Homo-oligomer: A and B are copies of this chain.
Amino acid sequence: MKTGVIGLGAMGMPMALNLHRAGHLYSIWNRTRSKAETVARETGCLLADTIKQLAGACEMIITCVSRDTDVLEIINAIATSIKPDTIVVDTSTVSADTAKKAAARLSAKGACFLDGPVSGGVEGASKGTLAMMIGGEEPVLERARSTLTAIAANIVYMGPAGSGQATKAVNQHMAAGINQAVTEALAFGKSLGLDMNKVVDVISSGACSNWFLQHRGKSMLAGNYEPGFKLSLHHKDLEIVKSMGNNSTGMALPMVEMTLIHYQQLMEEGFGDEDISALFRLKQGT
């Protein structure tokens, strides 16, 4: 399918390049135009002047931005020119409510929407091995699947519109807890005077084995907090989780509450643009 990509950030850029390698990339648009110009030059795809132009020319559109308001603005612009049966897959991490609004807006135009947030980090985006959690109508996913396999290795249908984002909220919640677990335990180990690179090696092969330790353990020990996944964005996601928790069952979510407080402190100290593993800064200080 002729596929357009809107949003060429840390995740959107490698996804666009993987779609190009698979022969699907047709058009791109990005708020910072210079970035899109580079991609268009390298891939030979169509650099759209407007979202409207891109939306009118594509059979599938993948969006990858940061905030709920961005998604809704983009969907409104897409809706002005989208053709019936065109599929929009939003890979951003936003609320389930935003996904439902986007689905309704496009449904009114006879077009289709899937919420398809992803997990696997910038590494997974580069390698095309992301996990993708899909909300929407299952037959729409089956039409989109062969194109989506260019960017994701595990594509799971979760249920109606918003279910992908609800699943991603669980993922972001768990990511906060794992960040707490890994940074606090490594700070503890460092205080004991252990050879921490060896600690990461041996712990990574036992029952505490986890992606975050394997991919961020040694970089945080080296004081390298280059993203990766920006702490301020994870903070935004955890605000979504918190409000979903409050709205559903009023369930206590101490891991989320604690991480919001810690991230807020780090953001105030100027570390919001660093990787979430910068939580290691705070754990060493307390």
Contacts and interface: CB of A to CB of B under 8 A. Distances in A.
12 contacts: A119-B203, A158-B198, A167-B203, A170-B185, A174-B182, A174-B208, A175-B208, A177-B182, A180-B180, A192-B244, A251-B286, A254-B258
Interface string A139-158: 00000000000000110111
Question: How many copies of this chain sit in the oligomeric assembly?
Answer: 2
Given A157-B198, A177-B185, A208-B212, 14 more contacts: A119-B202, A156-B198, A158-B195, A167-B203, A170-B185, A170-B188, A174-B185, A174-B186, A184-B253, A188-B251, A191-B245, A192-B248, A207-B212, A208-B210
Given A181-B180, A191-B251, A254-B184, A174 B203 contact: yes
Given A167-B189, A170-B194, A199-B167, A211 B209 contact: yes
Contact of A194 (B166, B175, B178, B199): B166
B159 A194 contact: yes
Contacts of A202: 119, 131-133, 154, 156, 158, 167
Contacts of A198: 156-158, 167
A257 to B, nearest CB: 11
Given A251-B188, A286-B251, A205 B174 contact: no
Given A153-B205, A189-B170, A203-B131, A184 B175 contact: no
Contact of A178 (B192, B210, B286): B210
Give the interface residue-count category, chain A: 35 or more
A241 interface: yes
**Shortest 3 CB-CB contacts between residues of A and residues of B:** A177-B181, A119-B206, A131-B206
A227 interface: no
Interface string A197-237: 01101111111111111010000000000000100000000
Contacts of A207: 119-121, 124, 171, 175, 211-212, 215, 229
Interface of A: 118-121, 124, 130-133, 153-154, 156-159, 163, 166-167, 169-171, 173-178, 180-182, 184-189, 191-192, 194-195, 198-199, 201-213, 215, 229, 241, 244-245, 248-249, 251-256, 258, 286
Contacts of A163: 194
A178 B177 contact: yes
Contacts of A253: 184, 188
A206 B130 contact: yes
A255 B167 CA distance: 24
A246 to B, nearest CB: 11
A248 to B, nearest CB: 5
